[in-house]
Amino acid sequence: MSATHESAEEQRGAVAVACHRLATEGLLIGTAGNVSVRDGDRIAVTATGTVLGKCTPEQVTVVGLDGGMLAGDLEATSELELHLGIYQRYSAGAVVHTHSPQATALSLVLDELPCVHYQQLLLGGSVRVAPFGVFGTPELAEHVLAALDGRSAALMANHGAVTFGPTLAKAVENALLLEWLCGLYLRAAQIGTPRLLDDNQQTAVVTAALRRGYGTTRPRGEDSTR
Q: What is the DSSP letter of 81?
A: H
Tell me how many degrees the CA angle 160-42-70 measures, rounded to the nearest 5.
Answer: 100
Whole-number Å distance between alpha carbons of 52 and 201: 39
The one-letter amino acid code at 25 reads: E
Each residue of 157-172: pLDDT tens digit?
Answer: 999 999 999 999 999 9
Domain membership of residue 48 (yes or no) is yes
pLDDT at 225 over 60: no
What pLDDT score does 45 carry?
98
Higher pLDDT, 118 or 206: 118
Each residue of 184-204: pLDDT tens digit?
Answer: 999 999 999 999 999 999 999
Burial of 226 (0-12, 13-18, 19+ CB in 10 A): exposed
Domain membership of residue 219 (yes or no) is no
Q: Is 79 a catalytic residue?
A: yes
Q: Residue 77: which of 55, 101, 93 has the closest Cα?
A: 55
* Region at 72 (left for phi over 0; alpha for psi -120 to 50; beta for the rest): left
Asked if 190 and 164 touch (Cβ cutoff 8 Å), the reply is no
Domain interval for residue 100: 8-212
What pLDDT score does 212 carry?
75
Domain membership of residue 71 (yes or no) is yes
Each residue of 75-94: pLDDT tens digit?
Answer: 999 999 999 999 999 999 99
**Residue 35 belongs to a domain with what CATH number?**
3.40.225.10
pLDDT at 2 over 50: no
Residue from 79, 139, 179, 222 carrying the catalytic annotation: 79
Higher pLDDT, 152 or 213: 152
pLDDT at 214 over 80: no
Least trusted range by pLDDT, from 42-46, 68-72, 207-211: 207-211
Beta bridge partners of 37: 44, 94
Domain membership of residue 217 (yes or no) is no
pTM over 0.85: yes
Each residue of 48-66: pLDDT tens digit?
Answer: 999 999 999 999 999 999 9
Domain membership of residue 224 (yes or no) is no
pLDDT at 109 over 70: yes
Whole-number Å distance between alpha carbons of 148 and 152: 6
Domain membership of residue 221 (yes or no) is no
Length of the chain counted residue by residue: 226
* Mode of pairing for the β-strands spanning 127-130 and 153-156: parallel
Whole-number Å distance between alpha carbons of 86 and 1: 13
Taking residues 125-147, report their average pLDDT. 97
Number of compact structural domains in the chain: 1
Whole-number Å distance between alpha carbons of 40 and 4: 10
